Chains A and B, each alone.
Chain A
Amino acid sequence: MPRSRRFLIGGVIIIAALSYMIYGGMQEAMVYFVTPSELKAKESTSADKFLRLGGMVVKGSLQKDLQNLTYRFNLTDGTATFPIFFKGVPPDLFAEGKGAVVEGRIGSDGVFQATTIMAKHAEEYSPHKDGGPPAKSFVPAKEASIK
C-alpha cells in the first residue's frame, strides 16, 4: 500500500473515532435551557428530558425542611410559574426573590425534580464594565466568582 494512502486511512479512522466520541459525549451531556413558560407550553413532550430551568424564586413560595434537606419552591419568568422539588444543599446565593437555575427533569407528579440548583451570579460579582451586568448570567454556585 502506498504511504500516502496509509496516512489517509489512518486519518479517516482517527477523525471517525473522534467524531463518534464527540457525538456520544454531546448526547450525554448537552442540556437545553428553558424558561417556565416554555416548559409549560411543551410539558408533555419534555417528560423524562434532562433540562435546565431558569427563573426567579417566587417570594413566599420557599418551604424548606432542614432535617431532611428538602426544598420546595416555585420558579417564575413573569408569565408562568413552575413548582420545583430539590433535595440537597442549595448554593449560598440561593434565596427567595433571586434568580436561580435548576437542573433536573419533570417528575410523574408534574413537579420539576431538581438535582442541582445554581444561583444567579450576584451583580456585584460581575466584572464586566462593558455592557453592564450581563442579562442572563447564571452560573453554578461553585463558579460564582470572577476568576
Chain B
Amino acid sequence: MTANLGHSSILLAWLIALLGIVTPIIAARTGEGRYLSIARYAIGGQFVLVTLAALALIYGLVTTDFSIKYVAFNTTRATPIYYRVTGLWGALEGSLLLWEWVLIIFAGITAWIYRDRHHEMMPWVIMIFSIVSAFFLGVVGFLSNPFETMLPVPLDGRGLNPLLEDANMMTHPPLLYTGFVGLTVPFAFAMAALIVGKLDEAWILTTRRWTIIAWFFLTAGNLVGAWWSYHVLGWGGYWAWDPVENAAFMPWLPATAFLHSIQVQERRRMLKVWNLSLIIVAFSLTIFGTFLTRSGILSSIHAFSSGPVGGFFLGFLTFILLGSFGLLAYRADLLKEQPELDSMVSRESAFLLNNIVLVSALFTIFLGTIFPLLSEAVAGVQVSVGAPYFNSVTVPLFLFLVFLMAIGPIIAWRRASWDNLQRSFLWPAAASLLLGLSLFMWKVRDFLPLLGFTLLAFVVFTIVYDTALALRARKRIAGEGIIRGLITLTRRNQRRYGGLVVHLGVVLIIMGIAGSMSYSVEKEATLALKQELQVGNYRVQFDGLKGTQQPTHFRVEGAFRVFHHGNDEGIMNPALKFFPTQQSPIGRAVHQSSLSEDIYLILSGFSELDRNQATLKVLVRPLVIWMWIGGFVITLGTLICILPMRMAQLSET
C-alpha cells in the first residue's frame, strides 16, 4: 500500500516534470503567460508528489513495513525511531529520493520567490530545474526504486550498517545534498541567461545569496563528514583522500572559486566566460560525485557496466556538459570582454590567482581520483593513488591560497600603489614574521608547518589590522567605540565583514589540519593490567575489561586511565561491538579533546580468557579541535553575510 503510493507518486511526478520541460519552451515561443503558469504548477505538482513519496518511505521505515525491500535492508525492529528515519539516506535508493526531494524544494522556493520577477529568464530556470528533476525521478522511478517490494515478507530486517547509526549521519548527507542541490540555482540562472542572451550581471546578482548558502552547506557537509570519520570510523583520522570524500570535496573548489570571481565580474565586468564555466563545472561535479559514489565503479570498473544507474548518470553528465558548453559557445559573441587587468598588483589579480589555484587543486584531485579507474579501463593495470599524492600536490597549492587569503580582501581594486601596500601589509607582515620566528625558537622546526603557521598568522593580522584602521576612522568620524563601530561597519558592508569572519574560520580549520598532519604521534601496544604507556604528553594506564549485553550487540569495553602532563583526566572506554548480523566486531574508538591536542584510543584486541590483556592503539593529534571550532566560525560568518540587517542596502561591495 505504502509502496504503491510512493512509487505511483514518483511516476506521476516524472510525467509532470516532462510537462515542466516542454511548457516553458512553448511559453517562450508563443509568449503566452498561461503556459508559464502551467510550468509553475508543474513545479508545485512535483513538489507535492515527491514530498508524498518521501513521507511514504519514511512512514514505511518508521512502521518497519518489511514488505518494502529498502525498509527490510535498512531497519530492524530493534532500530530506534530516529535511525529508522535516517534510514531514508542509508543506502542508494533512498538517498537518491532525498536528493530529488531537496532539489524540488529548492525549485519550489525559487519559483515562488521570483514569481513576479525575471519574466524573461524564469521559464528557462523552471525548465532547467525540471530537466534535472526528471532525471532523478527517472532514476528513482525506473532504475533504482526504493519502493520495490519483497515476497515473502521477512520477519525482521537486516538493519543499517552499525557505523551509520550515529548522530552525525543524521546530518551529514542532508547537509551535503543541500549544498549540491543549492548549486543548481546559480546553474539554472546561468543557463537561462545564456538561452535568453541577457549576459549582464543580473543572473549573478540574483543568485549571489543562493551561492553563498550552497557554499555554506557544502562546507558544513564536508566538515561533518570529516567529524564523523574522526568520531565514528575509529582510525584516528578525519580525511583519507578516499574517492568518496574527494567526490564530495571536488564541487567545493569551483564553488569557492566562483564565489570570489563573481565579485570581479560585479565590480569590473570581467571574467564572464570564466564565471559561467565555473558554475557549469561545479554543477557537473555534483552529478559526477553521485556517479562516482553510487555506480559501484569505485570498487571495480566492471561493477559499473553491470548496473544501469552508472550509465544513466554518465549519459546525463555528458548531456549537461555538451548542452551547457554548447550554449556558451553559441553565445560567444555576446561574451566579449572589454576591460582588462590594469595591474598584476590588484584585487582582481589576487582573485584571478585564487581561481587558478583552486582550479589547479581541482584538476590534481580529479586526476588522482580517476587515475586508477582510467588505468584499469585502458591498460588493465590496477594501481592505487594514495594519500601521499594528494598531500604533496595540494599542500603547496593550499599554502599559496592562504597567502592570497591575506592579500585578496585588503588590496585595492585596479591598481595598488606601493603606498597602499605598505599601509595595509607592513605591520601585519612584520608581526607574522615575528610570530614565525618565535614558533621556530620554541619548537616548530620543519619548513612546511612553519611556513603554514606564519601565513595563517599573516591572514589573521591583516584582517585585524584592516578592521582596526576602519574602527579608528569610525571613532574619528562618529565617535563610536569598538563594539558600536564594529556593528556599524558590519551593517554597512555585511558581505565584506561576513566574508572576513568566514576567512578566520578557514584559518582555524587549516591550523587544525596543519597541526594534526605535521605533529601527530601514534603508538600501539598490548598492555597487561595496570601497565602504562607513554605517548607524547599523555600517559595511559590499563585498568581492566568489561563485557555487557546491549540491545543490538555485545560490547567489550576497556578502561584506561589517562594522564595529560601528569594530570588525571579520568577514564576512557574504547570498545569493540559484536553485532550478531555482522561477521567482525566494530570498533568504538574514543577521544578526549583539549585546545592544544586530542588523545584518541582504539581498542583492537583483548585476551578472551582472563581479560587481563588489551591491545591498544593510542594517537595524539595536536590542534584537531580547531577544525570544528572553525566550522562554527564559518557558520557565524555566513550568517553575517546573508541575514537581512538594517542598512544592508547601503552596502557596496
Contact = CB atoms under 8 A, between A and B. Distances in A.
Interface stretch (A55-63, A77-85, A127-135): A127-135
Contacts of A24: 392
Given A136-B299, A142-B240, A146-B164, A89 B306 contact: no
Interface in B331-368: 340, 356, 360, 363-364, 367-368
Given A14-B356, A22-B367, A66 B385 contact: no
A75 to B, nearest CB: 16
Interface in B570-584: 576, 581-584
A47 interface: no
Contact of B161 (A22, A90, A146): A146
B586 interface: yes
Contact of A69 (B296, B392, B525): B525
A66 B384 contact: no
Nearest to B393: A25
Given A130-B306, A136-B300, A92 B396 contact: no
Given A21-B393, A134-B296, A128 B92 contact: yes
Given A89-B604, A128-B296, A18 B383 contact: no
B163 A145 contact: yes
Contact of A14 (B300, B360, B387): B360
A142 B581 contact: no
B240 A131 contact: no
B396 A21 contact: yes
B309 A130 contact: yes
A129 B392 contact: no
Tier of interface size on chain B: 35 or more
Interface string A76-108: 000000000000111011010000000000000
B585 interface: yes
B323 interface: no
Interface in B557-576: 576
Given A33-B382, A125-B161, A21 B296 contact: no
B386 interface: yes
Contact of B524 (A31, A88, A128): A88
Contacts of B604: 89-90, 92
Tier of interface size on chain A: 35 or more
B93 interface: yes
Contact of B392 (A28, A139, A142): A28
Contacts of A139: 242, 299
Contacts, number: 158
B144 interface: yes
B615 interface: yes
A136 B158 CA distance: 23
B649 interface: no
B163 A122 contact: no
Contacts of A22: 364, 367, 393
B615 A21 contact: no
A130 B144 CA distance: 8
B172 to A, nearest CB: 8
Interface in B488-529: 524-526
Contact of B244 (A32, A141, A147): A147
A22 B303 CA distance: 28
A122 B583 contact: yes
Nearest first, the 7 A-B pairs at minimum CB distance are A130-B307, A142-B235, A29-B389, A134-B299, A137-B299, A33-B382, A131-B306
12 contacts: A25-B368, A29-B388, A30-B371, A52-B384, A89-B604, A89-B605, A122-B582, A126-B299, A130-B309, A139-B299, A145-B161, A146-B163
Interface of B: 90-93, 143-144, 158, 161, 163-164, 225, 229, 233-235, 237, 240, 242, 244-245, 293, 295-296, 299-300, 302-304, 306-310, 340, 356, 360, 363-364, 367-368, 371, 381-390, 392-393, 396, 524-526, 576, 581-587, 602, 604-605, 607, 613, 615, 617
Interface of A: 3, 14, 18, 21-22, 24-26, 28-33, 52, 66-67, 69, 88-90, 92-93, 95, 119, 121-122, 124-132, 134-137, 139-143, 145-147
